[in-house]
Every structure is written in structure tokens, then in C-alpha cells.
Amino acid sequence: MARIANKAAIDAAWKQVSACPEKTLKQLFEEDSNRLSSLVVDTAKLRFDFSKNHLDNQKLTAFKTLLESCDFDARRKALFAGEKINITEDRAVEHMAERGQGAPATVARAKEYHARMKTLIEAIDAGVFGEVKHLLHIGIGGSALGPKLLIDALTRESGRYDVAVVSNVDGQALEEVFKKFNPHKTLVAVASKTFTTAETMLNAESAMTWMKKHGVEDPQGRMIALTANPAKASEMGIDDTRILPFAESIGGRYSLWSSIGFPAALALGWDGFQQLLDGGAAMDRHFIEAAPEKNAPVLAAFADQYYSAVRGAQTHGIFAYDERLQLLPFYLQQLEMESNGKRVDLDGNLITHPSAFITWGGVGTDAQHAVFQLLHQGTRLVPIEFIAAIKADDTLDPVHHQTLLTNAFAQGAALMSGRDNKDPARSYPGDRPSTTILMDELRPAQLGALIAFYEHRTFTNGVLLGINSFDQFGVELGKEMAHAIADHPENADFDPSTKALIAAALK
């Protein structure tokens, strides 16, 4: 039986979405004096202002019809109930259990794994591994991007340990850390869901070699495994107490809440990590409970689909006006593009609307002086997200933070209002959409809620597109070909261009 049952209703709803009259943002504000209160959502210590998007009551009604046709309620329920919604891999999707949401047995297992993490952190703090100053975290993709973001965003001033996250197989990345860290005071966390990823295994081996070379007595004894494949870690000789497992049903790009978040838990301390989880849980509750027109992830997905499917936008830009969130666009690239960068629906048919946006971004105010020219005057439509914290955490003159916020707000206003000039080169068309996400301060709870918001928005986009957001077969072909080249560079059956490259560089 087809998994997408209501095809005719879905097509009709999309038609309804496309048929909504186009109005400018200026018109929308003029026509509805309540616009701000209807399109601002305050939840989980975050404020989402969607009012500078072209959503109005008519579009919301059309999108709600689409949501219903796509069985959103049932699919959201199935997600939280731990049903096997990742159909191509026959798996449930249970990262929310790490935040206390979901089937009781799954939540209990997550708590047990967290308890193991906590015990190991306490052992490290108590000096079981001698004096430890540094943690070298090795992983890639979802096993690196989350930890990297958390460490950079939350532990700049107050990190209890010095953490470096290395993902790239390029030796430059590891070598840079080797220069900084004392091998005798370093622990190595090898993070890999599968514990087979080639780059991670090679980097782990080189870290062990580095320790040996510097006379560390038992390098293997200083290795910690963060994995959903504990058997593989055991095979590599890692003692059970140093294996921090997590469930197979947690996708790599959703895993920072699990043992993969170990470096953040170590550097922040357990209370800080718990606040991150609690922030995520607050967003989970909002996503489950709020009506679509007041539901931040759902409204964001409506805007995504509108700009993508109706207005033809190809990308969206994420600009945090906060230096500590400079890695957020990289994290979100994997979350959104690996989840929804697909071309077939749940029944294996080609999808009829464009899939995920290309996600990109930067930090304000830097980006203003680099890429905002195109955003204000280029020919492409790029919906923008501004993210900022009201409270400053630097100790400089408050004018710094005021200037930062002033700029964030000014950019959103300028994109929307535009300005005419008799010289076309100096004219700004305006009517360009943006969403502003404000938090009182950047702390673990707020960041947890923000990340969970993006997860649920990604899920909702997947539902509206009728796709499975939780597999990633697109990455496999390239991996296979890399193996083929590595194994037999001389006779790999490749195109002439690739053969010539191999001959030139890999002899």
C-alpha cells in the first residue's frame, strides 16, 4: 500500500498554496494591525518573529490544509512514539528520548546511557586518569559538528577542560592540536556512530601514535569511545568503562544530545549539559502542543516551503549576530541538507517540489561587509534568519553589544523596506523576507531549544515534502569510489578525467 495515501488532497492543497494572492510585506503590515502578535511566537526562552515573511491568514489556512493532507499529526505522533518512521533503514527516530520525550523504555535507556557519561566525567574530575587538561575529540559529520558548535558557543570563557574537535582526515587538522596539547594530559574521545568511518579511524590511530611517540605509557587506556556500535569499540581493546554507547535509533546529525555530546558535558559540567537537554525538551513540548499557526517549527517550515516551492528560492541564509554561534550554519547544513536533500518520496516516487534549501550563512556584523550586497540588491531571493542574544556576555563597553543588535535589526528592516533612488544602482527593491530569533542570553537551555527548533522544522519540511528525513544514502557512492581508488589506484575503472587526476597525484 502506498505510504502517501492522500496524493490528490496533497496536490489540491499545494494548488491552494500557490493560488494565494501575492502581497508585499509592506501591504501585509498595513492590512493587519495584529500582524505582530499573530506572527511572533514566544517559547522555550526564545522569541521568533516571523512577521517579515510573506505569510498571512490565507497562506496559513492553505498550509494548514496541506499539513493535514500530509498526515502531519499522525507522523509527528509516530515520531515521538518511536515507530519505525525511518522506513528505508527500518529504524525508529529517538533522539528526543535523550531529552526525556518518548516511549518510557527508550527514555529509561537514554537515562542509563547518560548516567554512564556522568560517571566517567566524575572519574575524570576525580583524577582517575591522572592530571587531565585536554580532550581531543575525533569524529566527523554528526559526530563532530554538534560537539564543535556546543564547545565554541558555550565554553569559551568557562570551559572546565580544553577541548579540540578534529574531523578532517587532512593531517593539518590533527597536527595543529598535537602542537598545542600535552599528550600526557590528554584524553582522546573517538566519536563514531558506526565506529567504522575511515577518516575517524585513521585520525584515532594517528592520535595513538602521537601519544606513544611522546612516551605515554598506555595510550589505548586514554581512549574513550562514543558510539552506537560498542562491540566494535571493544574489539579495538577499549575497556567497557570507557565506552559510552548510544542507541542505533539516533541519527548522526541528531546525536549531540547523546554520548556524542560528551566533550560538551565534560567541558560544561553535567548541570550545563542537563540545561541543554532541558532546553531541547521545552521545544519538544512546544512542537507537540502548539497549534500550527503558533508553532515555531511549523511556521518556519511553512515559510521555507512557500519561498522554495512558490517563489523559487534556492538557498536560505543563517546569520547569527553572535560570534559564539559562528559554527551554527555548518551544523545546520548537515541537519537540513543531509536530512531533506532527497529526490524521492516515501513511496520511492520522484518528488514534485524542490527539496531542502542550500543552507549557508555567517556571523553579523562581518557578513554585512561581505555578502549582504547580494542579499539587498542581487537578483536571487534569499530568505534570511537573524539570531541574537539580548544580553551581552563580553565585558567591554556596552556600546559593542548595542551596535551588534542595532545592525541585526537594521538589516532586517532594510531588506524589508528597501529604498527607491533615481539612480537604479542605488535603489533597493526591498520586500525581502527575514525571520528574527531573539534569546534573552546565550546559555545551554536557549541553545538546546534553538537546535531542537531546527530539528523539528526539518522534520516538518520532510513531512510537507513527503520524504524520509532520516536516511542519507547520497553519501555512499563517493565513499565506495574512494575505497576503489585507495585499493587499486592503477586499475580503477573511472572516467578519463578522474584517471588522469589519479595518475597525476596518487602514483
List contacts with ligand F6P (CB under 6 A).
140-143, 192-194, 197, 200, 252-253, 338, 472, 475
- Among residues 77, 84, 479, 488, which one is catalytic? 479
- Among residues 98, 199, 338, 385, which one is catalytic? 338
Whichever of 102 and 146 has its CB closer to ligand F6P, that residue is 146
In eight-state DSSP terms, residue 139 is: -
Q: Do 471 and 86 form a contact (C-beta atoms < 8 A)?
A: yes
- Backbone phi, psi, residue 6, to 5°: -100, 45
CA distance 311 to 304: 10
Min dist CB 191 to ligand F6P, Å, is: 7
Whichever of 173 and 288 has its CB closer to ligand F6P, that residue is 173
Min dist CB 150 to ligand F6P, Å, is: 15
Our answer to whether residue 235 is catalytic in this structure is no
Our answer to whether residue 45 is catalytic in this structure is no
Whichever of 200 and 295 has its CB closer to ligand F6P, that residue is 200
Please compute, for residue 120, the number of CA atoms within 13 A of its CA located in the half-sphere on the CB side.
25
Residue nearest ligand F6P by beta-carbon distance: 252
Residue that the C-alpha cell 568557562 belongs to: 158
Measuring CA to CA, how many Å separate 268 from each of 132, 186, 443, 507?
15, 17, 11, 47
Q: Is 133 helix (H, G, I), strand (E, B) or coil?
A: coil
Min dist CB 259 to ligand F6P, Å, is: 11
Our answer to whether residue 133 is catalytic in this structure is no
Min dist CB 139 to ligand F6P, Å, is: 6
- Nearest one of 275, 234, 238 to 257, comparing CA atoms: 275
Burial code (b: 16+ CB inside 10 Å, e: under 16) for 469-504 equals bbbbeeeeeeeeeeeeeeeeeeebeeeeeeeeeeee
Whichever of 55 and 140 has its CB closer to ligand F6P, that residue is 140
Residue that the C-alpha cell 587499486 belongs to: 488
Whichever of 335 and 404 has its CB closer to ligand F6P, that residue is 335
Residue that the C-alpha cell 586514554 belongs to: 222
- Among residues 179, 369, 422, 507, which one is catalytic? 369
Catalytically active residues, by annotation:
338, 369, 479
